[in-house]
Amino acid sequence: MYGFSYLSLQSALSYYGIIPERVETTTSVTSKKDKSFTTPLGEFTYRYLSIPKYSIGVTQKLFDSYHPVLIATPEKALADMGALETPRVKNQAEMQEHLLENLRIDESTLQQLSLTELERIALEYRSSHVTLLFKVVKRLQR
C-alpha cells in the first residue's frame, strides 16, 4: 500500500455491490500525490484528497482473518467519485442520470444510504458535485 490510504471509488462501490461491474484496478484514496503501480498482484491507483476530506467516512474491514483494510463507507465512496471522477454535471437531473445510467447504480440502493452521513461528508468536501449527490439522494429518499 502507498502511504496512508483507504480503498474507495469504484473498488469500494464494487465491494459493497453498489455498482454491478467487476473492477480490475484497485483504487484507493491517499493524502499523498496521485500514483499508480502495476505489480504481479494487479494494478493499484491512488488518488489524492486533502486531509480534512480524507479522514471522514472511513471504516476498517477484515478481508480475511489476518488483514484489516481501511475502506470508505458507501456514502464516502460515492462522495469520492463525485469529487474525484464525476464528469461535469450542472444540476440534479444530470447527477441523477450519471448515477443511474453511467454508474448503473440501482435507485433502491441510493434510497438506503445514510442521509446524515452523506450530508456530513458534503459539508466537509464543499464540492458542487458532492452537494448535488447529496441533494439527489435526499430527493430519492422522499
Residue percentage of the chain with pLDDT more than 70:
99
For residues 85 and 138, give the distance between their C-alpha atoms in angstroms, rounded to a whole number: 21
pTM for this structure? 0.91
Residue-wise pLDDT tens digits, 26-36: 999 999 999 99
pLDDT at 1 exceeding the cut of 70 = no
Q: Which domain holds residue 30?
A: 5-140
Number of domain units in the chain? 1
The sign one gets for the Cα dihedral 33, 70, 28, 126 is negative
Residue-wise pLDDT tens digits, 34-81: 999 999 989 999 999 998 898 899 999 887 777 888 999 999 999 999
